[in-house]
A and B are shown apart, each in its own frame.
Chain A
Amino acid sequence: MRLSLLSDLNAERAARRAAVLVTDVASGEQRLVREAEIASDPLAGELRERLRQGRSGLVERDGRQLFLTVQTPPVRMAVIGAVHISQALAPMARGVDFDVTIIDPRTAFATPERFPDVQVLAEWPDAVLPEMGLDRYTAVVALTHDPKIDDPALAAALRAECFYIGALGSRKTHERRVRRLMESGFTEADLDRIHAPIGLDIGAVSPAEIAVSILAEIVATLRKERRRSA
């Protein structure tokens, strides 16, 4: 592999753009196909399907064996609320290779001291989410309980087709949330995509246990959806 090719592959990953490295395993010949270049590639159909499934693999073309290294952007997690659960969730999420951003306009909560090693934005979600460019490789987790902060983030996540959207709060709280979001134009089908109450039901009590249940639910959504589409 040429160093320049490896460097391009890493650059695409850093820029959160999908790419496929095509390797002829007999000759070692290689090329990089960026997401935007797929349509004009001779393997367009195969590459598009592989990318959708997020699955690398061997294919046979004109008697040649080609290995497709599929690189999708790293999963990103936007956590709304610099709260106690978020403090437990951030390092766990980093442990499974998610890019974590904590967003909370309350400056007393959103401090680097409380959240070492992750990006912390002491801003309103509607001010920073458009800039982040939410996408289908992003999970949005709303944990403040405060509609002023959570609702705009949930609305942005629904519009961006984030692969996972979760919101903390009881069933009653969620019913009220659903009513508010419907008034602002979302359909019932849209709102069904919000995981609420958030997290797998493992009887979690402490903030750290709730963080485990949330992270497990996100991983399950990520992996099972890809497997279903495979």
Chain B
Amino acid sequence: MLSTDTEILKTAETWRREGRGVAVATVVETWGSAPRPVGSHLVIDGDTNFLGSVSGGCVEGAVITEALDVIADGKPRMLEFGVADETAWQVGLSCGGRIKVYVERVD
């Protein structure tokens, strides 16, 4: 299913009402060429189901992992992803940009 901005936040609400643990990740800042604009959302549940995107697929995996911690302890987190280096290119942006992602739990 193609997820639009409308669907993403509606889904977050639906999932929470179903009793799932839910986190919302939001792109809050970008530098250089970034694939998704500020304000883009990714929602994640406790079983790592997710909808939306904060990048072109480059850092979603890392955001989902962090989101599970946020769902567990309820503390919001600010994540930063930069240019990928050789040792950690799985969680970098190959486009050369940098992004900051805010992850919070839906209570």
State the CA gap A69–B5 with chains docked (Å): 12
Q: A57 at the A/B interface (Cβ < 8 Å)?
A: yes
Task: Convert A6-36 into 0s and 1s, putting 1 for each residue whose CB lies closer than 8 angstroms to a CB of B.
Answer: 1101100100000000010100100000000
Stretch from B11-19, B53-61, B91-99 that touches the partner: B11-19
CB contacts (< 8 Å) of B26 on chain A: these are 56, 67, 69
Q: Are A70 and B4 in contact (CB under 8 A)?
A: no
CB-defined contacts of B104 to chain A, threshold 8 Å: 1, 23, 28
With contacts A3-B107, A28-B104 known, is A10 near B39, CB below 8 A?
no
Is B83 an interface residue when CB atoms closer than 8 A count as contact? no
Q: Mark B85-107 against chain A: 1 for CB-CB distance below 8 A, else 0.
A: 00000000000000000101111
| In the assembled complex, A58 has its CB within 8 A of some CB on chain B | yes
Q: Indicate if B63 sits at the interface (CB-CB under 8 A).
A: no
Number of chain A residues close to chain B: CB under 8 A? 21
- Nearest-neighbour CB distance to chain B for A116, whole angstroms, equals 17
> Smallest distance from the beta carbon of B4 to chain A beta carbons, Å?
4
Q: How far is the CA of A1 from the CA of B4 in the complex (A)?
A: 20
B78 in the interface, Cβ–Cβ < 8 Å? yes
Q: Are the C-beta atoms of A9 and B107 separated by less than 8 Å?
A: no
For chain B, the count of residues having a C-beta within 8 Å of the partner chain is 24
- Is A74 in contact with B6, judged by CB distance below 8 angstroms? yes
Q: Which residue of chain A has its CB nearest to the CB of B3?
A: A97
Interface flag for B24 (CB, 8 Å): yes
Residue of B nearest to A98 (CB): B4
Across the interface, do B9 and A9 meet the contact criterion of CB distance under 8 Å?
A: yes
Contact A10 B28 (CB under 8 A): no
A1 B13 Cβ-Cβ under 8 A: no
CB-CB nearest in chain A for B100: A58
A42 within 8 A of B: no
Answer whether residue A45 sits at the interface, using C-beta atoms and an 8 A cutoff.
Answer: no
Assembled-state Cα–Cα distance A95/B9 (Å) = 17
* B38 located at the interface, meaning its Cβ lies under 8 Å from any Cβ of chain A in the complex: yes
**Interchain CB contact under 8 A, A25 and B9:** no
B6 x A97 contact (CB < 8 A):
yes
- A114 interface residue (CB < 8 Å to B): no
A50-76: CB near B (< 8 Å → 1, else 0) gives: 000001111000000001011000100
Q: Confirm or deny: A2 has a beta carbon within 8 angstroms of a beta carbon on chain B.
A: yes
Q: Would you call A25 and B6 a contact (CB within 8 A)?
A: no
29 inter-chain pairs at a CB distance below 8 angstroms, sorted by A residue, are: A1-B104, A1-B106, A3-B17, A3-B107, A6-B12, A6-B13, A6-B24, A7-B13, A9-B9, A10-B10, A10-B13, A13-B6, A13-B9, A23-B102, A23-B104, A25-B78, A25-B102, A55-B38, A56-B26, A56-B28, A56-B39, A57-B28, A57-B29, A57-B38, A58-B29, A67-B26, A67-B28, A67-B102, A97-B6
Q: A3-B16, A3-B17, A69-B39 given. 19 additional CB < 8 A pairs?
A: A1-B105, A1-B106, A1-B107, A2-B106, A3-B106, A6-B24, A7-B13, A10-B13, A13-B6, A23-B102, A25-B102, A28-B104, A55-B38, A55-B39, A56-B38, A56-B39, A57-B28, A57-B39, A97-B4
